[in-house]
Structure 1
Amino acid sequence: MTKIAYLASRVTLPGSLVRRTDAFEHDLMMDALRGPFAARGLTLEDLSWDDPKADWASYGAVIIGTTWDYWDRLDEFLAALRRIESQTRLFNPVALVEWNIRKTYLRELEAKGARLIPTVWMDVADEASARAAFDTLGAEDVVFKRQVGAGAKGQHRLRRGEAIPEMPHAMMAQPFLPMIQTEGELSFIFIDGDFSHALVKRAQPGDYRIQSTYGGREEKIAPSADDLAAARAIIAALDEAPLYGRVDMLRGADGGLLLMELEVLEPYLYPVEGPELGERMAAGVARRLAL
């Protein structure tokens, strides 16, 4: 049996005293992957990316999974990934992770034809630059997000004139689009470049954040041909297909989809909505390892 490591974190591993409220998603991923991996002679083990006792060279490959504390330990996290990749195969590769970990990658995808929500980039998010973003965007309702972050951590939705909270990180500002509260956010999962499944994520009434931590819920969908083509184009813009990728999109006023995120680093892949995910992932790893 070939050992495969599934990278988690102290805040997602079972039994952790500091476990996140959404760490059940880690359990769902492990439940979905273990059986199909075992059927291909692959033993899947979950461990924290910062485990000092881990012998990375003993694993045939390492998959970046629920590493959901990296944004506050960025340099340490990237150094750990480089160390892992020097000893075994890493999925997805560290070069792709380093590109994807800062949301400024969206500008490169825009240059390749991706449609984005209008965005103001703020390396220093002080009160003056935050207030100026409302004018630049021509918006009365703006969402401020960390350039390095996930799960809506450090995110603020502000109306013009409201007090500006402290934002000590590099930020991005986008107009709030009501479609997030009506249709919801669409996610398209790709494994080895092939479409796996799609879903819509909706916030609970009164909120706009679609993550499960805030009461968000998901529903599997069969995307239209046009919507799927828009998501495929995002994956196709990469130099090569990653082992996994999740394309998050929101419908614009003209009916077309706008890119919110391309997640090729630690995304939750919604195995409940895509029961074939485990087999697809196992097959993808086996192909890449030529097993």
Structure 2
Amino acid sequence: MPTARPRLLYVTDLAYPARGRRYGDEDVFLTSRLRAEFDLALCHPGDAVSLMDAFDAVVVRNSGPVLTYPEAYAAFRERAAERGTPVFNPLTGRGDMAGKGYLTDLTAAGYPVIPTVDRAADLHRLPETGRYVVKPRLGADSAGLRTVTPDALRAVLAEGAATGADLLAQPHVDFVHEISFCFVDDAFQYALYAPRPDRRWELAPYRPTLADLAFARRFIDWNALPYGVQRVDACRTPDGGLLLVELEDLNPYLSLDALDDGTREAFVTAFTASLRRFLAV
């Protein structure tokens, strides 16, 4: 049974060298606020399995791309399932938590996403363009991403299939800017955007329209997580529409340093309340 003050194991890699982001600063700030409500300890993702049994629940935050520690992550998932350990976010996510294959599923289902296929035989489903993007299904932080010509695209996918590389292909999309929508549980918290496409992590507050929020909520509803923090990343096309870039549901960086004080405090309040509800289940 949980103690009077629940014990949380907060999984983070404070030293992960994220490009344009400071994982450590964000998690030091968040844990400094959570200590008012919970007893908690921080640990590296590689240590989670050996420590998690001493805690009531595990919170996975800025732990870095799991492709850098696949064995430890697989062991963590297995241990959590065996012991019934509550994990925040729950390990049932259908977005980036399960790899980027969901982009092909959403494409086939007609969702507004950057069109994505994973087989050379399906390339006819992509719009014709002068450049295409090829990336690993299990990629993160642009690792392994390549831009190729139409003539090279089929050969690259065929080579990937032959070597087991498991690649995805998309048209190279020219966009006006990228927008990130942050949700706690199913409640929208804030949006940020990158006014300059070449500077992805120079973010500014963004006031979404009702249509923007309806777009983002479609993917939150599709993922159907009972609780947790999710980030819906989209790009604004020249015609004014939005296309999904990714649905980050494992350890989304929150860019709290880009928020004004009131918005940041509102997020902390919502995050803390979500954890309380999660622990009461």
Query: TM-score surpassing 0.5?
Result: yes
1:50 aligns to what? Answer: 46
2:9 counterpart SS class: strand
User: Is contact 1:119-1:137 (8 Å) kept?
Assistant: no
Given the alignment, which residue of 143, 146, 157 partners 1:153?
Answer: 143
2:268 aligns to what? Answer: 278
Given the alignment, which residue of 178, 190, 193 partners 1:197?
Answer: 190
2:8 aligns to what? Answer: 4
Given the alignment, which residue of 30, 38, 49 partners 2:27?
Answer: 30
After TM superposition, list the pairs within 5 Å mapping 1:120-199 onto structure 2.
Answer: 120-122=117-119, 129=120, 133=123, 137-160=127-150, 169-179=165-175, 183-199=176-192
2:46 counterpart SS class: coil
User: Is contact 1:189-1:196 (8 Å) kept?
Assistant: yes
1:19-42 CA distances to partner (integer Å, 9 max, x unpaired)? Answer: 4254953223213312331222x1
Q: What TM-score does the superposition give when structure 2 sets the normalisation length? A: 0.81
1:20 aligns to what? Answer: 17
1:39 counterpart SS class: coil
TM-aligned CA distance change 1:118 to 1:24, over 3 Å: closer
TM-aligned CA distance change 1:202 to 1:161, over 3 Å: farther
User: Is contact 1:109-1:234 (8 Å) kept?
Assistant: no
User: Is contact 1:120-1:137 (8 Å) kept?
Assistant: no
Q: CA deviation at 1:134?
A: 9.0
TM-aligned CA distance change 1:57 to 1:120, over 3 Å: same
CA distance in 1, matches of 2:67, 2:242: 27
User: Is contact 2:107-2:116 (8 Å) kept?
Assistant: no
User: Is contact 1:6-1:64 (8 Å) kept?
Assistant: yes
User: Is contact 2:234-2:246 (8 Å) kept?
Assistant: yes
CA distance in 2, matches of 1:23, 1:62: 27
CA distance in 2, matches of 1:265, 1:97: 10
Aligned Cα root-mean-square deviation (Å): 3.1
Q: CA deviation at 1:289?
A: 0.8
Asked if 1:257 corresponds to 2:242, the answer is yes
| Code of the aligned partner of 1:284 | S
Given the alignment, which residue of 247, 252, 257 partners 1:267?
Answer: 252
| Code of the aligned partner of 1:176 | H
Asked if 1:248 corresponds to 2:238, the answer is no
Gapped regions of structure 1 (runs ≥ 5): 123-128, 211-215
Q: CA deviation at 1:162?
A: 6.8
| Code of the aligned partner of 1:140 | G
User: Is contact 2:60-2:89 (8 Å) kept?
Assistant: yes
| Code of the aligned partner of 1:90 | V
2:215 counterpart SS class: helix
CA distance in 1, matches of 2:124, 2:29: 44
Q: CA deviation at 1:187?
A: 0.5
Aligned residues: 265
1:86 aligns to what? Answer: 82
Percent identity between matched residues is 27
2:220 counterpart SS class: helix
After superposing the two structures, state which structure 1 stretch, 188-197 or 270-279, moved more.
270-279
2:257 counterpart SS class: coil
| Code of the aligned partner of 1:78 | A
Q: CA deviation at 1:194?
A: 0.4
User: Is contact 2:9-2:43 (8 Å) kept?
Assistant: yes
CA distance in 2, matches of 1:134, 1:252: 22
CA distance in 2, matches of 1:26, 1:89: 23
2:118 counterpart SS class: strand
